[in-house]
Amino acid sequence: MTQSRWHAVSEWPLVAVAFVFLGAFTWEVLGQPVGVAADVAEIIITATWFIFVVDYFVNLFLARPRWRWFYTHLLDLAVVVLPLARPLRLLRLVTLLSALHRTIGRGFRDRVIVYAAGAAVLLLYVASLAILDVERGAPGATINSFPDALWWAIVTMTTVGYGDVYPVTAIGRVIAALVMLGGVALLGTVTATMASWIVERVSSRDEQSQAATRREVAALSAQIAELKAVILADRSPADL
């Protein structure tokens, strides 16, 4: 099996697994289950993460050249290895973005805006969950509820930063930096796409205008040629 064939076979199952992971993570953060329920949530999260581990190693095995794929996908390796440490579990959320990118991230410019909008909503949601997971209950924490976390994610992603709520933990500040970078990247993508669309429209208008001008010049040249022929036909041989 080739790597492209594996992507074609696995992309939709991975999207489904990613949403299962997001649902379990949401339940764990917002529902705060205890006892057996907490164990079930953790088992689901671990199982979905293991599926992405398998996907990583299958891609590595099928990649040609393998070494080039390895060093160009170091983020995928980090997602596989780092979540083994409890404080870095939020990196598992990257697997959701990676899985969705396989299916909706392969478009032309007319799909970029839709993709950017979907990515922005997803980033807001997962950032809210991640910051709440690490900040809630910390000494001096200002983010102790999902509405506070969502408000923080919005003002951070848009780089407004009112400062009324803010992370106090080291991991929370790492999340804040990533959210700011993600917001700037999405804004840049949308801006570049809009600029490209405007340039294309102006170029199209210029081409249409130039084509119309050429048609008018050709018609005028034809009229001049006809008028010249008439004038020459009306003149007598003695005038020539």
Kindly report, residue by residue over 131-167, the tens digit of the pLDDT. 999 999 899 999 999 999 999 999 998 888 888 999 9
On the question of pLDDT at 43 being above 90, the answer is: yes
Q: What is the DSSP string of 135-165?
A: HTTSTT-S--SHHHHHHHHHHHHTT---SSS
Q: How far is CA 40 from the centre of its chain?
A: 31
- Residue 102: helix, strand or coil by DSSP? helix
Where does the pLDDT of residue 238 fall: very low under 50, low under 70, confident under 90, or very high at 90 and above? low
Q: Are residues 190 and 127 in the same domain?
A: yes
Q: Are residues 60 and 149 in the same domain?
A: no
Structure tokens at 35: 């006892």
Q: Are residues 88 and 129 in the same domain?
A: no
Closest of 84, 97, 70 to residue 178, by C-alpha:
97
Q: Which amino acid is at 91?
A: L
- Provide the CB-side half-sphere exposure for 187 (13 A, CA): 10
DSSP letter at 49? Answer: H
- The confidence score (pLDDT) of residue 153 equals 93
Q: Are residues 67 and 7 in the same domain?
A: yes
Type and span of the H or E element at 168: none
Residue that terminates a domain, selected from 84, 106, 128? 106
Q: Are residues 159 and 225 in the same domain?
A: yes
> How distant, in Å, are the alpha carbons of 37, 137, 147 from that of 168?
29, 11, 17
Distance CA(107)–CA(213), nearest Å, equals 36
pTM for the whole structure: 0.71
For 147-179, b where at least 16 C-beta lie within 10 A, e where not — what string?
A: ebbbbbbbbbbeeeeeeebbbebebbebbbebb
Q: Are residues 162 and 53 in the same domain?
A: no
Distance CA(118)–CA(96), nearest Å, equals 12
Q: Are residues 139 and 102 in the same domain?
A: no
What domain range is 228 assigned to?
107-240
Q: Which residues, other chains included, contact 64 with Cβ-Cβ below 8 Å and sequence gap of 6+?
A: 3
The enclosing domain of 156 has a CATH number of 1.10.287.70
Structure tokens at 49: 């993460």
Residue that terminates a domain, selected from 106, 130, 154? 106
Q: Are residues 192 and 228 in the same domain?
A: yes
Weakest mean pLDDT among 54-68, 73-87, 147-161: 73-87
Q: Are residues 100 and 161 in the same domain?
A: no
Q: Distance from first CA to last CA of the chain, Å, rounded?
A: 85
Report the pLDDT averaged over residues 34-63.
89
pLDDT above 70 covers what percent of the chain?
A: 78
Q: Are residues 56 and 161 in the same domain?
A: no
Closest of 8, 88, 80 to residue 49, by C-alpha:
80
Q: Are residues 67 and 138 in the same domain?
A: no
What is the number of domains present in the chain?
2
Q: Are residues 76 and 10 in the same domain?
A: yes
Residue that terminates a domain, selected from 106, 139, 163? 106
- The confidence score (pLDDT) of residue 105 equals 47
